Structure 1
Amino acid sequence: MCGVAPTATGSQTPISTFTNAKTAQECLSDCNSNASCQSFIFGMVDSTIKCELFSVPAAQVPTQSSANLVVYDKACSSIPAVQPTTANPQGLANGAAQNQNGGQTSQSGGQTSSSQPTQGQQGANQKQNKRATCGAAPSGSGTAQPIDTPANIASLDACIAACKANASCKSVEFGKLTANGPDVCRFFDVPAAQVPKATDGQSFQVSDVGCA
Protein backbone atom coordinates (compact mmCIF):
# COMPACT_ATOMS: atom_id res chain seq x y z
CA MET A 1 0.00 0.00 0.00
CA CYS A 2 1.45 3.34 -1.05
CA GLY A 3 -0.10 6.69 -0.16
CA VAL A 4 -3.62 5.47 0.68
CA ALA A 5 -5.72 5.68 3.82
CA PRO A 6 -5.06 2.81 6.27
CA THR A 7 -8.06 0.49 6.61
CA ALA A 8 -7.17 -2.30 9.07
CA THR A 9 -9.30 -2.97 12.15
CA GLY A 10 -6.56 -4.19 14.49
CA SER A 11 -5.03 -2.48 17.51
CA GLN A 12 -1.49 -1.94 16.24
CA THR A 13 0.18 1.12 17.75
CA PRO A 14 3.17 3.12 16.45
CA ILE A 15 6.61 1.97 17.52
CA SER A 16 7.93 5.51 17.12
CA THR A 17 6.69 9.02 16.32
CA PHE A 18 8.73 11.78 14.66
CA THR A 19 8.06 15.49 14.33
CA ASN A 20 11.20 16.36 12.36
CA ALA A 21 10.05 14.67 9.12
CA LYS A 22 8.63 17.30 6.77
CA THR A 23 7.92 15.00 3.80
CA ALA A 24 6.96 11.36 3.31
CA GLN A 25 10.48 10.67 2.01
CA GLU A 26 11.97 12.03 5.24
CA CYS A 27 9.56 9.81 7.18
CA LEU A 28 10.81 6.87 5.08
CA SER A 29 14.36 7.75 6.14
CA ASP A 30 13.27 7.50 9.77
CA CYS A 31 11.65 4.14 8.98
CA ASN A 32 14.82 2.88 7.26
CA SER A 33 16.78 3.78 10.38
CA ASN A 34 14.61 1.50 12.51
CA ALA A 35 15.14 -2.22 11.95
CA SER A 36 11.62 -3.00 13.20
CA CYS A 37 9.84 -0.56 10.87
CA GLN A 38 7.80 -2.10 8.04
CA SER A 39 5.46 0.81 7.25
CA PHE A 40 4.59 4.35 8.29
CA ILE A 41 1.78 6.89 8.23
CA PHE A 42 2.31 10.49 7.19
CA GLY A 43 0.27 13.67 6.89
CA MET A 44 -0.64 16.98 8.48
CA VAL A 45 -3.31 17.11 11.19
CA ASP A 46 -4.24 20.39 12.90
CA SER A 47 -1.22 22.12 11.31
CA THR A 48 1.14 19.47 12.76
CA ILE A 49 3.02 17.08 10.46
CA LYS A 50 2.90 13.50 11.76
CA CYS A 51 5.28 10.65 10.94
CA GLU A 52 4.53 7.42 12.81
CA LEU A 53 6.36 4.13 12.29
CA PHE A 54 4.76 0.68 12.52
CA SER A 55 6.25 -2.79 12.88
CA VAL A 56 3.58 -4.36 10.62
CA PRO A 57 2.85 -4.05 6.87
CA ALA A 58 0.70 -1.10 5.77
CA ALA A 59 -2.28 -3.42 5.24
CA GLN A 60 -2.34 -4.05 9.02
CA VAL A 61 -2.13 -0.40 10.09
CA PRO A 62 -5.47 0.57 11.72
CA THR A 63 -7.82 3.20 10.33
CA GLN A 64 -6.80 6.63 11.64
CA SER A 65 -9.02 9.32 13.14
CA SER A 66 -8.01 11.81 10.43
CA ALA A 67 -8.39 11.35 6.67
CA ASN A 68 -5.26 13.50 6.27
CA LEU A 69 -3.05 10.54 7.18
CA VAL A 70 -1.94 8.05 4.53
CA VAL A 71 0.11 4.89 4.90
CA TYR A 72 3.15 3.60 3.01
CA ASP A 73 4.90 0.25 3.02
CA LYS A 74 8.63 0.59 3.48
CA ALA A 75 9.14 -1.05 0.08
CA CYS A 76 7.02 1.47 -1.90
CA SER A 77 8.95 2.44 -5.02
CA SER A 78 7.73 6.05 -5.29
CA ILE A 79 7.32 8.11 -2.12
CA PRO A 80 6.81 11.87 -2.58
CA ALA A 81 9.17 14.52 -1.24
CA VAL A 82 6.36 17.05 -0.85
CA GLN A 83 5.72 19.05 2.31
CA PRO A 84 2.03 18.93 3.30
CA THR A 85 -0.12 22.05 2.99
CA THR A 86 -3.70 22.89 3.90
CA ALA A 87 -4.72 22.09 0.31
CA ASN A 88 -2.61 18.91 0.19
CA PRO A 89 -2.40 17.69 3.81
CA GLN A 90 -1.16 14.22 2.84
CA GLY A 91 1.85 15.64 0.97
CA LEU A 92 0.96 13.64 -2.14
CA ALA A 93 2.85 14.03 -5.40
CA ASN A 94 -0.18 15.14 -7.44
CA GLY A 95 -0.68 18.06 -5.08
CA ALA A 96 2.98 19.00 -5.50
CA ALA A 97 2.64 19.03 -9.28
CA GLN A 98 -0.21 21.53 -9.06
CA ASN A 99 1.70 23.77 -6.67
CA GLN A 100 4.84 23.57 -8.76
CA ASN A 101 3.02 24.55 -11.94
CA GLY A 102 1.49 27.48 -10.12
CA GLY A 103 4.92 28.56 -8.92
CA GLN A 104 6.34 28.43 -12.43
CA THR A 105 3.49 30.57 -13.71
CA SER A 106 4.24 33.33 -11.21
CA GLN A 107 8.00 33.35 -11.66
CA SER A 108 10.04 35.38 -14.15
CA GLY A 109 10.78 34.57 -17.77
CA GLY A 110 14.14 33.13 -16.78
CA GLN A 111 12.39 29.82 -16.15
CA THR A 112 10.24 29.87 -19.27
CA SER A 113 12.26 27.09 -20.85
CA SER A 114 11.71 24.84 -17.83
CA SER A 115 7.93 25.10 -18.30
CA GLN A 116 8.11 23.81 -21.88
CA PRO A 117 8.59 20.14 -20.90
CA THR A 118 5.48 20.51 -18.75
CA GLN A 119 3.51 21.67 -21.80
CA GLY A 120 4.87 18.74 -23.79
CA GLN A 121 3.92 16.42 -20.99
CA GLN A 122 0.41 17.85 -20.96
CA GLY A 123 0.15 17.12 -24.69
CA ALA A 124 1.32 13.57 -24.09
CA ASN A 125 -1.22 13.17 -21.31
CA GLN A 126 -3.99 14.41 -23.59
CA LYS A 127 -3.02 11.85 -26.23
CA GLN A 128 -2.93 9.16 -23.57
CA ASN A 129 -6.39 10.16 -22.33
CA LYS A 130 -7.78 9.80 -25.88
CA ARG A 131 -6.62 6.19 -25.88
CA ALA A 132 -7.71 5.52 -22.31
CA THR A 133 -10.32 2.94 -21.38
CA CYS A 134 -12.96 4.69 -19.26
CA GLY A 135 -15.95 2.96 -17.65
CA ALA A 136 -15.90 -0.09 -19.93
CA ALA A 137 -16.40 -3.74 -19.10
CA PRO A 138 -13.07 -5.52 -18.46
CA SER A 139 -11.95 -7.42 -21.55
CA GLY A 140 -8.33 -8.44 -20.99
CA SER A 141 -7.18 -12.00 -21.55
CA GLY A 142 -4.20 -11.98 -19.19
CA THR A 143 -3.83 -12.94 -15.54
CA ALA A 144 -3.28 -9.51 -13.94
CA GLN A 145 -4.20 -9.44 -10.26
CA PRO A 146 -5.29 -6.47 -8.09
CA ILE A 147 -2.46 -4.79 -6.18
CA ASP A 148 -4.80 -3.22 -3.61
CA THR A 149 -8.48 -3.14 -2.60
CA PRO A 150 -9.07 0.05 -0.60
CA ALA A 151 -12.12 0.20 1.65
CA ASN A 152 -14.94 2.74 1.84
CA ILE A 153 -14.92 3.66 -1.87
CA ALA A 154 -18.46 4.42 -3.03
CA SER A 155 -18.08 5.27 -6.73
CA LEU A 156 -15.92 4.72 -9.80
CA ASP A 157 -14.74 8.36 -9.69
CA ALA A 158 -13.71 7.98 -6.05
CA CYS A 159 -11.89 4.76 -6.95
CA ILE A 160 -9.94 6.57 -9.69
CA ALA A 161 -9.12 9.44 -7.32
CA ALA A 162 -7.72 6.96 -4.78
CA CYS A 163 -5.74 5.25 -7.55
CA LYS A 164 -4.02 8.55 -8.38
CA ALA A 165 -2.59 8.62 -4.86
CA ASN A 166 -0.91 5.23 -5.40
CA ALA A 167 2.26 5.45 -7.48
CA SER A 168 1.88 1.85 -8.70
CA CYS A 169 -1.77 2.13 -9.76
CA LYS A 170 -2.42 2.42 -13.52
CA SER A 171 -6.09 1.43 -13.65
CA VAL A 172 -9.06 0.53 -11.48
CA GLU A 173 -11.92 -1.93 -11.45
CA PHE A 174 -15.16 -0.95 -9.67
CA GLY A 175 -18.28 -3.02 -9.16
CA LYS A 176 -19.50 -6.24 -7.56
CA LEU A 177 -17.67 -9.52 -6.96
CA THR A 178 -21.04 -11.26 -6.54
CA ALA A 179 -24.51 -10.37 -7.82
CA ASN A 180 -25.76 -9.20 -4.42
CA GLY A 181 -22.43 -8.20 -2.90
CA PRO A 182 -21.18 -4.72 -1.99
CA ASP A 183 -19.32 -2.52 -4.46
CA VAL A 184 -15.54 -2.88 -4.34
CA CYS A 185 -12.68 -0.81 -5.73
CA ARG A 186 -9.57 -2.64 -6.94
CA PHE A 187 -6.25 -1.20 -8.16
CA PHE A 188 -4.17 -2.71 -10.98
CA ASP A 189 -0.61 -2.00 -12.10
CA VAL A 190 -1.52 -2.60 -15.76
CA PRO A 191 -3.66 -0.51 -18.17
CA ALA A 192 -7.43 -1.04 -18.01
CA ALA A 193 -7.36 -2.83 -21.37
CA GLN A 194 -5.32 -5.62 -19.73
CA VAL A 195 -7.62 -6.16 -16.72
CA PRO A 196 -9.10 -9.69 -17.10
CA LYS A 197 -12.74 -10.26 -18.01
CA ALA A 198 -15.21 -10.57 -15.15
CA THR A 199 -16.28 -14.09 -14.20
CA ASP A 200 -19.87 -15.30 -13.81
CA GLY A 201 -21.75 -13.29 -11.20
CA GLN A 202 -19.30 -10.39 -11.27
CA SER A 203 -20.19 -6.94 -12.57
CA PHE A 204 -17.31 -4.50 -13.09
CA GLN A 205 -16.29 -1.34 -14.89
CA VAL A 206 -12.64 -0.60 -15.59
CA SER A 207 -10.97 2.76 -16.12
CA ASP A 208 -7.44 3.99 -16.63
CA VAL A 209 -6.09 6.37 -13.99
CA GLY A 210 -6.22 9.28 -16.46
CA CYS A 211 -9.99 9.05 -17.03
CA ALA A 212 -11.32 11.29 -14.24
Structure 2
Amino acid sequence: MIKVLIVDDDPFIRESMQVILDLDQELRVVGISQNGKEAAEYASAHPVDVVLMDIRMPVCDGVEGTKLLRALPNPPAVLILTTFDDDDYIAQAIRYGANGYLLKNVSPSLIISGIKTVHQGTMLIHPDIARKLAGMLESPRGAQAEPSYLFDQVSKSLAEQGLTQAECQIVRHVADGQSNKEIASSLFLSEGTIKNYISEILGKLELRDRTQLAIYYLKLMQRN
Protein backbone atom coordinates (compact mmCIF):
# COMPACT_ATOMS: atom_id res chain seq x y z
CA MET A 1 0.00 0.00 0.00
CA ILE A 2 1.42 3.37 -1.06
CA LYS A 3 0.79 6.07 1.56
CA VAL A 4 0.04 9.42 -0.12
CA LEU A 5 -0.04 12.94 1.30
CA ILE A 6 -2.00 15.51 -0.74
CA VAL A 7 -0.75 19.11 -0.57
CA ASP A 8 -2.88 21.90 -2.10
CA ASP A 9 -4.31 25.17 -0.82
CA ASP A 10 -7.60 24.60 -2.69
CA PRO A 11 -9.99 22.47 -0.58
CA PHE A 12 -11.91 21.37 -3.68
CA ILE A 13 -8.71 20.03 -5.26
CA ARG A 14 -7.72 18.26 -2.05
CA GLU A 15 -11.10 16.57 -1.72
CA SER A 16 -11.26 15.64 -5.40
CA MET A 17 -7.79 14.14 -5.36
CA GLN A 18 -8.59 12.15 -2.24
CA VAL A 19 -11.69 10.66 -3.88
CA ILE A 20 -9.74 9.80 -7.06
CA LEU A 21 -6.75 8.24 -5.30
CA ASP A 22 -8.83 6.25 -2.82
CA LEU A 23 -10.43 4.43 -5.78
CA ASP A 24 -7.14 2.65 -6.42
CA GLN A 25 -6.54 -0.32 -4.14
CA GLU A 26 -2.78 0.21 -4.12
CA LEU A 27 -3.01 3.80 -2.80
CA ARG A 28 -4.12 5.20 0.53
CA VAL A 29 -4.40 8.91 1.28
CA VAL A 30 -3.01 9.27 4.80
CA GLY A 31 -3.25 13.03 5.09
CA ILE A 32 -3.86 16.41 3.48
CA SER A 33 -1.97 19.69 3.91
CA GLN A 34 -2.53 23.26 2.75
CA ASN A 35 1.11 24.19 2.07
CA GLY A 36 4.65 22.87 1.93
CA LYS A 37 5.46 23.64 5.56
CA GLU A 38 2.45 21.68 6.80
CA ALA A 39 3.43 18.82 4.50
CA ALA A 40 6.95 18.63 5.92
CA GLU A 41 5.61 18.73 9.48
CA TYR A 42 3.14 15.95 8.72
CA ALA A 43 5.73 13.77 6.95
CA SER A 44 8.19 14.20 9.83
CA ALA A 45 5.63 12.72 12.23
CA HIS A 46 3.84 10.14 10.05
CA PRO A 47 4.93 7.53 7.47
CA VAL A 48 4.45 8.91 3.95
CA ASP A 49 5.63 7.30 0.71
CA VAL A 50 4.62 9.91 -1.87
CA VAL A 51 3.67 13.58 -1.56
CA LEU A 52 1.39 14.95 -4.29
CA MET A 53 2.44 18.58 -4.22
CA ASP A 54 0.94 21.75 -5.69
CA ILE A 55 3.38 24.53 -6.61
CA ARG A 56 1.82 27.91 -5.90
CA MET A 57 0.56 28.04 -2.33
CA PRO A 58 0.58 30.71 0.39
CA VAL A 59 2.89 30.49 3.43
CA CYS A 60 5.18 27.86 1.84
CA ASP A 61 5.06 26.97 -1.86
CA GLY A 62 5.72 23.58 -3.41
CA VAL A 63 9.34 24.33 -4.25
CA GLU A 64 10.27 25.20 -0.66
CA GLY A 65 8.06 22.37 0.55
CA THR A 66 9.98 19.94 -1.65
CA LYS A 67 13.25 21.19 -0.17
CA LEU A 68 11.93 20.68 3.37
CA LEU A 69 10.57 17.21 2.61
CA ARG A 70 13.71 15.97 0.89
CA ALA A 71 15.76 17.10 3.90
CA LEU A 72 13.89 14.73 6.24
CA PRO A 73 15.71 11.62 7.54
CA ASN A 74 13.36 9.36 5.57
CA PRO A 75 12.18 11.61 2.75
CA PRO A 76 9.09 10.66 0.74
CA ALA A 77 9.04 10.91 -3.05
CA VAL A 78 7.59 14.22 -4.26
CA LEU A 79 5.36 14.41 -7.33
CA ILE A 80 4.67 18.00 -8.35
CA LEU A 81 1.17 18.48 -9.74
CA THR A 82 0.35 21.97 -10.99
CA THR A 83 -1.39 24.07 -13.59
CA PHE A 84 1.73 26.23 -13.91
CA ASP A 85 4.75 25.37 -16.06
CA ASP A 86 6.88 28.32 -14.99
CA ASP A 87 10.58 27.92 -15.83
CA ASP A 88 11.91 28.92 -12.41
CA TYR A 89 9.56 26.59 -10.59
CA ILE A 90 10.51 23.67 -12.84
CA ALA A 91 14.25 24.12 -12.37
CA GLN A 92 14.02 24.76 -8.62
CA ALA A 93 11.68 21.84 -7.93
CA ILE A 94 14.00 19.44 -9.74
CA ARG A 95 17.05 20.96 -8.09
CA TYR A 96 15.55 20.40 -4.65
CA GLY A 97 14.85 16.76 -5.38
CA ALA A 98 11.34 16.54 -6.88
CA ASN A 99 10.84 13.05 -8.30
CA GLY A 100 8.27 14.03 -10.89
CA TYR A 101 6.41 16.89 -12.49
CA LEU A 102 2.89 16.61 -13.96
CA LEU A 103 0.41 19.22 -15.12
CA LYS A 104 -3.06 19.15 -13.59
CA ASN A 105 -4.71 18.73 -16.98
CA VAL A 106 -3.63 15.08 -17.19
CA SER A 107 -6.16 12.31 -16.61
CA PRO A 108 -6.71 10.83 -13.12
CA SER A 109 -5.28 7.53 -14.38
CA LEU A 110 -2.00 9.26 -15.26
CA ILE A 111 -1.81 10.86 -11.83
CA ILE A 112 -2.30 7.46 -10.21
CA SER A 113 0.27 5.93 -12.54
CA GLY A 114 2.65 8.82 -11.78
CA ILE A 115 2.41 8.22 -8.04
CA LYS A 116 3.29 4.56 -8.53
CA THR A 117 6.14 5.46 -10.87
CA VAL A 118 7.89 7.86 -8.48
CA HIS A 119 7.29 5.46 -5.60
CA GLN A 120 9.35 2.90 -7.53
CA GLY A 121 12.21 5.38 -7.68
CA THR A 122 11.78 6.45 -11.29
CA MET A 123 11.70 10.11 -12.27
CA LEU A 124 8.59 11.21 -14.17
CA ILE A 125 8.33 14.39 -16.23
CA HIS A 126 5.28 15.51 -18.20
CA PRO A 127 6.16 15.75 -21.93
CA ASP A 128 5.42 19.49 -22.04
CA ILE A 129 7.78 20.02 -19.11
CA ALA A 130 10.43 17.85 -20.75
CA ARG A 131 10.33 20.01 -23.87
CA LYS A 132 10.62 23.15 -21.76
CA LEU A 133 13.60 21.66 -19.93
CA ALA A 134 15.32 20.96 -23.22
CA GLY A 135 14.85 24.62 -24.16
CA MET A 136 16.18 25.76 -20.79
CA LEU A 137 19.25 23.61 -21.24
CA GLU A 138 19.83 24.94 -24.72
CA SER A 139 19.55 28.61 -23.79
CA PRO A 140 21.12 30.04 -21.78
CA ARG A 141 22.53 26.80 -20.37
CA GLY A 142 23.13 25.09 -23.68
CA ALA A 143 26.43 23.89 -25.05
CA GLN A 144 27.23 27.12 -26.87
CA ALA A 145 26.48 29.42 -23.95
CA GLU A 146 27.80 27.53 -20.94
CA PRO A 147 31.30 28.45 -19.73
CA SER A 148 33.93 25.83 -20.54
CA TYR A 149 34.96 25.56 -16.89
CA LEU A 150 31.38 24.60 -15.98
CA PHE A 151 31.30 21.86 -18.60
CA ASP A 152 34.67 20.68 -17.29
CA GLN A 153 33.21 20.37 -13.80
CA VAL A 154 30.18 18.47 -15.06
CA SER A 155 32.42 16.22 -17.16
CA LYS A 156 34.50 15.49 -14.07
CA SER A 157 31.36 14.44 -12.20
CA LEU A 158 30.32 12.21 -15.09
CA ALA A 159 33.80 10.71 -15.37
CA GLU A 160 33.64 9.76 -11.70
CA GLN A 161 30.65 7.62 -12.64
CA GLY A 162 32.53 5.83 -15.38
CA LEU A 163 31.78 7.95 -18.44
CA THR A 164 34.48 8.50 -21.04
CA GLN A 165 35.30 11.89 -22.54
CA ALA A 166 33.39 10.99 -25.70
CA GLU A 167 30.35 9.95 -23.65
CA CYS A 168 30.47 13.25 -21.74
CA GLN A 169 30.35 15.10 -25.05
CA ILE A 170 27.33 13.08 -26.13
CA VAL A 171 25.53 13.79 -22.85
CA ARG A 172 26.10 17.48 -23.48
CA HIS A 173 24.55 17.22 -26.95
CA VAL A 174 21.57 15.21 -25.66
CA ALA A 175 20.96 17.85 -22.98
CA ASP A 176 21.11 20.45 -25.76
CA GLY A 177 18.06 18.80 -27.32
CA GLN A 178 19.89 17.33 -30.32
CA SER A 179 18.70 14.18 -32.08
CA ASN A 180 20.94 11.18 -32.74
CA LYS A 181 21.30 12.35 -36.33
CA GLU A 182 22.39 15.83 -35.26
CA ILE A 183 24.86 14.44 -32.72
CA ALA A 184 26.26 12.03 -35.29
CA SER A 185 26.78 14.91 -37.72
CA SER A 186 28.51 17.04 -35.06
CA LEU A 187 30.87 14.28 -33.96
CA PHE A 188 31.39 12.67 -37.40
CA LEU A 189 30.00 9.34 -36.26
CA SER A 190 27.15 7.13 -37.46
CA GLU A 191 23.68 7.30 -35.93
CA GLY A 192 24.06 3.66 -34.90
CA THR A 193 27.22 4.47 -32.99
CA ILE A 194 25.52 7.37 -31.20
CA LYS A 195 22.58 5.13 -30.31
CA ASN A 196 24.96 2.56 -28.83
CA TYR A 197 26.81 5.27 -26.90
CA ILE A 198 23.56 6.56 -25.39
CA SER A 199 22.50 3.05 -24.36
CA GLU A 200 25.86 2.64 -22.59
CA ILE A 201 25.52 6.04 -20.92
CA LEU A 202 22.01 5.31 -19.66
CA GLY A 203 23.22 2.00 -18.28
CA LYS A 204 26.17 3.55 -16.45
CA LEU A 205 24.03 6.31 -14.92
CA GLU A 206 21.08 3.98 -14.26
CA LEU A 207 18.70 6.24 -16.17
CA ARG A 208 15.71 5.23 -18.28
CA ASP A 209 15.73 7.57 -21.26
CA ARG A 210 17.04 10.75 -22.89
CA THR A 211 14.69 12.97 -20.90
CA GLN A 212 16.08 11.67 -17.62
CA LEU A 213 19.58 12.16 -19.01
CA ALA A 214 18.87 15.81 -19.86
CA ILE A 215 17.43 16.40 -16.39
CA TYR A 216 20.42 14.71 -14.79
CA TYR A 217 22.72 17.03 -16.72
CA LEU A 218 20.67 20.04 -15.58
CA LYS A 219 21.08 18.97 -11.97
CA LEU A 220 24.84 18.66 -12.39
CA MET A 221 24.98 22.10 -14.02
CA GLN A 222 23.14 23.69 -11.10
CA ARG A 223 25.30 21.86 -8.57
CA ASN A 224 28.58 23.12 -10.04
TM-score (norm 1): 0.29
Question: Relative to total residues, which structure has the larger helix share, 1 or 2?
Answer: 2
TM-score (norm 2): 0.28
Question: Relative to total residues, which structure has the larger strand share, 1 or 2?
Answer: 1
